[in-house]
Amino acid sequence: MKKQFWVFGSKLSVLQGAEDTEGRFDLVEGILPVGSRLPFHVHTKYSETFYVVEGEAMVLTDESETLLKAGEHCFIPRNTPHSIFNNSGDKELKALAVASPSGFATLIRSVGLEVMEGETEPSGEHDFQLVQKVLHEIGDEIVAPPQS
């Protein structure tokens, strides 16, 4: 059974990490609740491909807004500030993310709170000093949203 982690209100599972792919990529499954929004952020050391399995996602960058439905994907090059929303009514979003080269799985495993059976929300809180440290180590930054 795959291990799930709460990371800022979403359930994430590392399906393949650096140890499985010789550091070439991470494959992560995410389940985002209705109405969730990932903070505007940028990956400086890896690119991300985001694929929607179920539900819908709005991917925002400084230059575009892309609505993705099940079976659709987008590529987010490194150094591209972006955010992902799940505003699909009453359906949670299930998606896959590929980070290349590896890096994202380190964040999940280091700062994530293990999901306990039957949990519908995290039972603890993130250690934000640790979050900042790991974000810095993997080259991720939380940034301000784009100007409208």
pLDDT digits (tens, 9 = 90+) for 83-125: 988 766 678 999 999 999 999 999 999 999 999 988 888 888 9
Cα 75 to chain center, whole Å?
A: 13
Is 28 inside a domain boundary?
yes
Q: How many whole angstroms separate alpha carbon 123 and alpha carbon 116? A: 9
DSSP state, 102? S
What's the whole-model pTM score?
0.90
Number of domains in the chain: 1
Is 147 inside a domain boundary?
no
Is 84 inside a domain boundary?
yes
Range of the domain at 10: 5-142
pLDDT digits (tens, 9 = 90+) for 31-78: 998 888 888 899 999 999 999 999 999 999 988 999 999 999 999 999
Is residue 12 a contact partner of residue 112, using CB atoms and an 8 Å limit?
yes
Is residue 105 a contact partner of residue 99, using CB atoms and an 8 Å limit?
yes
Is 148 inside a domain boundary?
no
Is 37 inside a domain boundary?
yes
The CATH number of the domain holding residue 37 is: 2.60.120.10
